Structure 1
């Protein structure tokens, strides 16, 4: 059943597979086995989980004859940066609608913000996500009136086609684990829009893999605790409908772990920054405080709380975001 995703248009944006590396120092220190799926080292624009989603999303855009891509995201958005890069690689124009991750957060002209300009994206700034959605619709109509063919991508690439990216990613990961002879108990990653988690859960189900707990660490502090689970559930079922596959997945199988958002999307504190610095110095692994740092902090905390047991094997999906370290450099300086 998993092979049906390959019937859909897809463009190749990176070389497969991304590395799967054991975090040997941390594994020894914590008494578990941690393997890092390095989706942060893809070929395109510093990589990240959004690249997998964009392969299918932009595949459809090209199949439709689209010539301009429109999307939105905050100043910290990795999705926006990678959409801009991928669009340029494909010879498409790109319009970005952007806004502060939280009220009164300044726009720092480094990292993702700088890269968006480097790729020559048209950048339109608004105040918040609601205004961004309205502006994207306005832009779509404007381009259509000019005879252009815009393709609008929701925030984070959160569509059923985006889910396909991590169905494919799970197949890749399972092949690597099979060759290593590793049978993990957990797959842990940062959850924002929930698309990556939907793809991982559905990919495992389509492959018939059992016994792996997928833990999505909520990095945004969603106000309605059920909303993100409901959204992941909807994405899974929409993907199944497109694939024309009958498969039952219950909401109980969707595990979104709360308590590690550090106040909300784009928010963090000195404790998290110091943790990220320590991980870099122990393992040579670069995390950032918006997404991956929070997820890895949760992983270590769950081990320390004995919710993850000694000897367990864990896969951490490194979803990228490296440019954010440079964008948020000033917060790291006192620990260097």
Structure 2
């Protein structure tokens, strides 16, 4: 499997391995050993999980001799700012297609970072008659055609960097995490890995990694939904897992029965702060000195705290919280 991944184009964008830290005070609160995998310290831009996906996407872009990178997301997209940072690091032009009004203030959060990176931004407001994703994908293709007319070559990365290629980044991450756990405590026998599930690429990659990698302990992967319908997320995750397993030359496959998603902490929807998420954000900061964000990691930690308080984590020797980044978002929510 490693050989198959090694044969794929890839560029180094982050600093690996990211730290695996004991969360001692949080562990005491929850009665279970909590570890934090610091993907927020990935070393690219404002940090975060997208750097691992982008290593494969940008590797392919370079292999195809692309001059421009195009991607899409919400106005305050973590993925968009990290894509811009990665493109700049490699000397490429970058164009972001963001869902929002063109007069949005660009003075905080990821939009501020996009500005500093001098990313070209096209704001779009998809009509009700068309899905957001389809509309934004069409806009990216339109921009790619314009770039081609001008003599350039664009490489399009999907929202969140979520496709089979990007998912490979978290197969690598799971291998890395497993090695760290072995070194940290050889007596661990059952581990839970918890991660926010948005576009589900990171979640799917961790599941694929757990399937492909042999360790002397069992790994369960929990995705905490931050928006959307659970059944759709499960189907999307199955698709990503199976496609990434195929890319890794594995005959293994999963069904929706294999996918564990916690969906009680969504609140009013995407980018809507919740009371539980806000509490989790403060608990984590005040007990561990680690900052989460209101959109992704705050909701994921809220689920973990609730499960710890109810005793649902007692069967695990260790629980690993994947800190996927998002610090710039915290400043965007200062008034809340």
Quick check: TM above 0.5? yes
Contact 1:2–1:207 under 8 Å retained in 2: no
Tell me what 1:215 maps to: 222
Tell me what 1:126 maps to: 124
**Mapped pair 1:189 → 2:195:** yes
Tell me what 2:129 maps to: none
Tell me what 1:243 maps to: 248
Pick aligned residue for 1:145 from 129, 144, 149: 149
Distance in 2 separating the partners of 1:291 and 1:96: 21
TM-score by length of 2: 0.92
Distance in 2 separating the partners of 1:50 and 1:107: 24
Distance in 2 separating the partners of 1:65 and 1:284: 43
Note closer, same or farther for the CA distance 1:184–1:329 as it changes in structure 2 (3 Å cut).
farther
Distance in 2 separating the partners of 1:184 and 1:284: 27
Q: How far has the Cα of 1:134 moved from its partner?
A: 2.1
Distance in 1 separating the partners of 2:206 and 2:279: 30
Contact 2:245–2:252 under 8 Å retained in 1: yes
Q: How far has the Cα of 1:232 moved from its partner?
A: 1.1
Of 128-137 and 150-159, more deviation after overlay is shown by 128-137
Tell me what 2:277 maps to: 272
Q: How far has the Cα of 1:183 moved from its partner?
A: 4.1
Give the match's secondary structure for 1:237.
helix
TM-score by length of 1: 0.92
Deviations, residues 15-54 of structure 1 (Å, cap 9, x unaligned): 2110000100010121100000000012111211100000
Distance in 1 separating the partners of 2:251 and 2:287: 45
**Mapped pair 1:206 → 2:212:** yes
Contact 1:14–1:42 under 8 Å retained in 2: yes
Tell me what 1:135 maps to: 139
Tell me what 1:304 maps to: 309
Give the match's secondary structure for 1:48.
coil
Contact 1:99–1:125 under 8 Å retained in 2: yes
Distance in 2 separating the partners of 1:27 and 1:274: 16
Q: C-alpha root-mean-square deviation of aligned residues, in Å?
A: 1.8
Distance in 2 separating the partners of 1:165 and 1:300: 27
Of 243-252 and 190-199, more deviation after overlay is shown by 243-252
Q: For 1:244-259, list aligned pairs within 5 A.
A: 244-259=249-264
Unaligned 5+ segments in structure 2 are 127-131
Distance in 2 separating the partners of 1:238 and 1:311: 29
Contact 1:2–1:167 under 8 Å retained in 2: no
Tell me what 1:89 maps to: 89
Contact 2:39–2:323 under 8 Å retained in 1: yes
Tell me what 2:53 maps to: 53
Tell me what 2:182 maps to: 178
Distance in 2 separating the partners of 1:184 and 1:327: 38
Q: How far has the Cα of 1:275 moved from its partner?
A: 3.3
Distance in 1 separating the partners of 2:279 and 2:295: 14
Q: How far has the Cα of 1:237 moved from its partner?
A: 1.6
Q: How far has the Cα of 1:68 moved from its partner?
A: 0.1
Give the match's secondary structure for 2:270.
coil
Contact 2:19–2:38 under 8 Å retained in 1: yes
Give the match's secondary structure for 1:125.
strand
Distance in 1 separating the partners of 2:319 and 2:268: 26
Contact 2:241–2:253 under 8 Å retained in 1: no
Note closer, same or farther for the CA distance 1:268–1:62 as it changes in structure 2 (3 Å cut).
same
Q: How far has the Cα of 1:109 moved from its partner?
A: 2.5
Tell me what 1:79 maps to: 79
Give the match's secondary structure for 1:40.
helix
Tell me what 1:334 maps to: none
